[in-house]
Structure 1
């Protein structure tokens, strides 16, 4: 690594509670759910709903869920992101740091560290660990990092890697991480993505008249696709399935982690787990491409709760395919995307 590097890379992930203790989980949930891009209600309504209803009801149960998947070294998401940081730093030979949208380390902590340790830094490449654009994931992470960067007037420029849901490097890494599982006996591969409210899809439509309004909108060319989560996850799934040679009848897409009673994009993963055995699917594979690091939503919601639901409904075998985590091709993909951003190559 250069003694006086001009450029550094920051990997930005979702975040995690500092521990599995209820006060830490409550603090994390409050920060997460009070984000106006996650629950996009007016502030007072959001405050009453989150602080008065959701968090008091969920904190203890969430703490137990975190305890069930917590590793000796800490939160799986944090541990895996640190491992990815180490692998990427070896490939790039540049300073690589991590930051979280919620919890620690915060963008301010990470940017302060870079400024302190590398005072000659001219630019920071922010790599959001969200392949797809969604208001409640990629957008909130990027906009929050921008706000902190501007507020504290850091001397280095902030450059951001755009969503990479259909980039060859990402698709190849994802497909190859799945390949060993589809080379074995299975009935169906379910791509389970984190869900979002239908309202978010409509609200994010930059054209105002395409998403969920045009027939087969995800396959009709539109500028709306640049910020449409539903379109992007469908394209990711199609490209991976094509790369792996999986017949259309043997894979499908669903959406998990629904919160509240309003309509979210469908089909719901939880419902599909109950229905698939009756449709003849006895051996199920599940991949979660919206998550690049295994976390509560994969290790507990899918691998534990989802498996129980599927087997209880008549399934025989259930395999959750690990996220990309530190897969060598994923490390290589990130390095390529960051190098292109450094060089100013259009996405």
Structure 2
């Protein structure tokens, strides 16, 4: 097995620490060719589609990609901004603000980088760059509050596959989930209450999470349970009764049964039942993207109004909300305990002196660096 070329090892170096904020990904442009490349990578992941490879290859390459790429490109075009893909723009801003927030907490020896599981900047490229920059400790922070094998599990796969090519692997830490983290729940609460202060309250609040095939729940994936716990904790913070909110699942793909109830049919039924106003928020998405801005804010809105509803409000994702950035910093900080990211000057001087002594001893024994 061939290993990637290593940068020279420097004796006495304490290296740096890094937090990598990893989101799902996005096409590089709202064009048919760019979307096709992105969908091919995404839908080729066996974590995402658990169908025998030979069968799925024909379905993907001969049916889905030829027909779905153009349709998806038009949807991406409807939400694309001057700066680019909303998901990438929002995630990049989160990474920049997270770095500043960690600095304010005294962690001035931490790099924060953004990576995408599919598309660019790719996770392997970001990890390689951090290694070249001398980072010896890496914390992986998924942009998914709820764990699923289809999302967070896939990030783990990509990380392990990358480091399988590396001789000198850095210290790795993984954040598995934070679906019940107090800061995350509080940030959602603040976002909803701010919207209600400005626009009044709905008759029904819909908490729409991304769906997954129901069989994954039956096979042991905890995603469904973690979504329901997030919803329960958030409803308690908002002092909602069970009649005032609903949990639904969106973005169904294919003909198999997914987690239910499905968002669009549920919202349509609410309108037919006489509910005049619904508010929808997507707690499982920390950055606005195609699934929130187009599927919910456009398509589901249309479904609700066409079925007789009168007022539809989409409450944006947390994005760069100050409360959310503070929560991200707290989550990252809790998982960096023991790393030399936060030291007073005397400690820095002592660590530097110890490193210089170690390097001198190594050079005396014949080391080159």
* TM-score normalised over the length of structure 2: 0.83
1:111 lines up with 2:127 in the alignment: yes
Is 2:78–2:294's contact at 8 Å kept on the other side of the alignment?
yes
Q: Offset at 1:81?
A: 0.6
Unaligned segments of structure 1, at least 5 residues = 206-226
1:65 lines up with 2:75 in the alignment: yes
Is 1:149–1:158's contact at 8 Å kept on the other side of the alignment?
no
Q: Offset at 1:111?
A: 1.2
Partner of residue 357, structure 2? none
Q: 1:329 to 1:45 in 2, by over 3 A?
A: same
Q: Offset at 1:165?
A: 0.5
Q: Offset at 1:5?
A: 5.6
Pairs within 5 Å for 1:81-96:
81-93=91-103, 94-96=110-112
Q: Offset at 1:143?
A: 2.1
Give the 3-state SS of the residue equivalent to 2:283 in structure 1.
Answer: coil
Q: Compute the RMSD of aligned alpha carbons.
A: 1.6
Partner of residue 193, structure 1? 209
Q: 1:279 to 1:51 in 2, by over 3 A?
A: same
* Structure with bigger RCO (C-alpha 8 Å, 6+ apart): 2
Give the 3-state SS of the residue equivalent to 1:235 in structure 2.
Answer: helix
* TM-score normalised over the length of structure 1: 0.89
Is 1:128–1:142's contact at 8 Å kept on the other side of the alignment?
no
Partner of residue 312, structure 1? 306
Can you list the C-alpha shifts for 1:247-285, whole angstroms capped at 9, x where unaligned?
211100111000111111111111112101122311110
Partner of residue 143, structure 1? 157
Q: Offset at 1:290?
A: 1.0
* CA–CA separation in structure 2 for the residues paired with 1:201 and 1:27: 29
1:30 lines up with 2:40 in the alignment: yes
* CA–CA separation in structure 2 for the residues paired with 1:185 and 1:287: 13
Aligned residues: 319
> Max radius of gyration: which structure?
2
Q: Offset at 1:344?
A: 6.1
Can you list the C-alpha shifts for 1:42-90, whole angstroms capped at 9, x where unaligned?
1111211111111212100000000000010100000001100110111
Unaligned segments of structure 2, at least 5 residues = 1-12, 104-109, 340-369
* CA–CA separation in structure 2 for the residues paired with 1:168 and 1:344: 22
- Which contiguous aligned blocks of 4+ residues in structure 1 show a shift greater than 4 angstroms? none
